Structure 1
Amino acid sequence: MSDHKHFTLYTNVEAANGWKVAIVLRELGLTYDSVYLDFTKHEHKSPEYLKLNPNGRIPALIDHENDDFVLWESDAILVYLVERYDTDHKLSAATDAERALQNQWLFFQASGQGPYFGQFFWFSFFHPEKIPSAVERYKKETERVLSVLDSVLSKKEWLVASKPTIADLSFVTWNNGAFATIVGHDAVVDKFPAVYKWHMALCSRPAVKSVTDLRTALQK
């Protein structure tokens, strides 16, 4: 049996965005090798990696069975994976209207959840000087994003198409980090119960759990 993998995923152990791609690859049963870039060594800014991703961020994905096609930006990768490999619509919307809604939520994740959660995390833990006004701003924006999700999820189980799709899965890895550190599980349960129920349902999926367990193991 060949050990050739369908994809190569350039990612990082700590960063959330690469892990969401790993989740969707696992969900779809697609094989891949992970290359974990070391941010402390600036491997994501190396000339070799910048040839793949001129933005110098993770993730980047190479599809070896599509002429070594390279794609970056995590939610763009999710769309590519389902459009090309999810022909049964296991994780994706089937109609034009549902696909538009799916993309709506992916844009909201990319423009809202990721940047605001990331800045809240940065100013809470890594910025060299404490700036209370920045922490407060991004705390409020993080809570606003959660409140938008909660308002929708209090009325339905999933974001699109009455089933879990890449729209839902795109939020998992940032939520994991935020709930464990900067927001707290108890606060989420109290303020955003629908979000918490939805998140835990996603985390119970075998593919999500296996990727989350791997991430935890690599972080030790």
Structure 2
Amino acid sequence: MSKQKDIHLYTASTMNGWKPVIFLEEAGVEYDLTPIDFSKKEQKAPDYVKLNPNGRIPTIVDRSNDDFVVFESGAILWYLAEKYGKFLPKDPKEQSRTLQWLMFQMGGVGPMMGQAMYFQRIAAKQGEEHPFAIKRYVDESRRLFEVLNTHLEGREYLVNDEFTIADIATYPWARAFYWANVSVEGLQHLQAWFGRIDAREATQRALEIPKPFWAFFGKGDVAAQERENAERFKSDVSKQS
């Protein structure tokens, strides 16, 4: 029997779900993985909700720290960064800058992109058409991309030239501009940042765990994966109707 790893990760193939996977793969940290199947509502199962009261992914259990549980993807990244001393600057000011950009993703890029995706790729596919909402979220996502683009001018990564948890958090969301139908035309600094992270083998490997969903990035059988995605969240639309 193989030895249990310190970190037990519960996640799924979503933008938030990939964040801790990217960290762990980039840091070379071994971990145990439990994929969460949304179609079976495993994120709402009583045993899982004991770990994550919000019934969402991802969640980690740190077995080396009295089975300490951390939920919310940004909090997980911060916890792992402090635990392993990776992807978090040592200088207090640089740490604060990293936290600021992490919160920019958590409070802005993620929610706006998520809603743009939901109304176009899920609700609309179930007959719920909301053009005003779509325009609102797509336009705001583009504005946030422009903020990123301006900030990235002359920088390799979000916090100077150091790959940090701010990049790890922001990349899977911003890189999925295709899925949200948000244009990146004219945003050359943002696109160059995409290119740098696209070239990171560990990050690209992480995007196939627990399973690849390349349609988010405009690759593969987009139509089939769009149908799959809409179906697994079908009940969420019916609750709103």
- How high is the TM-score relative to the length of structure 2? 0.82
The residue identity in structure 1 corresponding to 2:111 is P
Shift of 1:193: 1.3
Q: Does the 8 Å contact 1:10/1:34 carry over to 2?
A: yes
SS of match in other structure, 1:171: helix
In the alignment, residue 146 of structure 2 is paired with which amino acid? S
Q: Which amino acid aligns with 1:6?
A: D
Amino acid at match of 1:209: Q
C-alpha RMSD of the superposition:
1.9
Letter in 2 for 1:195: L
CA-CA distance at 1:218 after TM superposition: 9.4
Aligned residues: 212
Provide the residue aligned with 1:91 in structure 2.
87
Q: What is the correspondence of 1:27-38 to structure 2 with a 5 Å cutoff? A: 27-38=26-37
Task: Report the CA distance between 1:161 and its aligned residue.
Answer: 4.0
Would you say the 8 A contact 2:60–2:71 is kept in 1? yes
* In structure 2, distance between residues paired with 1:161 and 1:191: 22
Asked if structure 1 preserves the Cα contact closer than 8 Å seen for 2:4 and 2:32, the reply is no
Q: Is the 8 A contact 1:6 1:32 kept in 2?
A: yes
Q: CA deviation at 1:2?
A: 4.1
Q: Unpaired runs of 5+ in structure 1?
A: none
Structure 2 counterparts to residues 164-175 of structure 1, below 5 A = 164-175=163-174
Query: Does 1:9 pair with 2:4?
Result: no
Written as runs of structure 1 = structure 2, the 5 A alignment for 1:121-140 is 121-127=117-123, 128=126, 129-140=128-139
Query: Is 2:87–2:163's contact at 8 Å kept on the other side of the alignment?
Result: yes
Give the match for residue 102 of structure 1: 98
CA-CA distance at 1:130 after TM superposition: 0.4
Does structure 1 retain, via aligned residues, the 8 Å contact 2:145–2:174? no
Deviations along 1:7-55, whole A, 9 cap, x unmatched? 1111113x21111110101111111122111112211111111100001
1:48-197 equivalences under 5 Å are 48-86=47-85, 90-127=86-123, 128=126, 129-179=128-178, 181-183=179-181, 187-188=183-184, 190-197=185-192
Does the residue aligned with 1:65 lie in a helix, a strand or coil? helix
Partner SS, residue 70 of structure 1? strand
- The amino acid of 1:10's aligned partner reads Y
Report what 2:235 is aligned to.
Answer: none
Matched residue of 1:191: which SS?
coil
Alpha-carbon deviation of 1:206? 1.8
Matched-pair contact (CA < 8 Å) for 2:153–2:189 = yes
Residues 6, 30 of structure 1: 8 Å contact kept: no
The 3 A distance-change label for structure 1 pair 218 and 121 is: closer
- TM-score, reference length from structure 1: 0.89
For 1:202, which of 194, 197, 202 is the aligned residue?
A: 197
Secondary structure (helix, strand or coil) at the match of 1:56 reads: coil
Alpha-carbon distance in 2 for matches of 1:7, 1:24: 12
- Aligned twin of 1:39: 38
Q: Rate the CA distance shift 1:120–1:72 in 2: closer, same or farther, 3 A.
A: same
Change (3 A) 1:99 1:67: same
Post-superposition shift, 1:176?
A: 3.1
Deviation of 1:62 after TM superposition, in Å, equals 0.6
Cα separation, 2, equivalents of 1:107 and 1:150:
17
Counterpart selection for 2:206 from 183, 207, 211: 211
d(CA) in 2 for partners of 1:34, 1:44: 14
Structure 2 CA distance for aligned equivalents of residues 41 and 2 of structure 1:
28
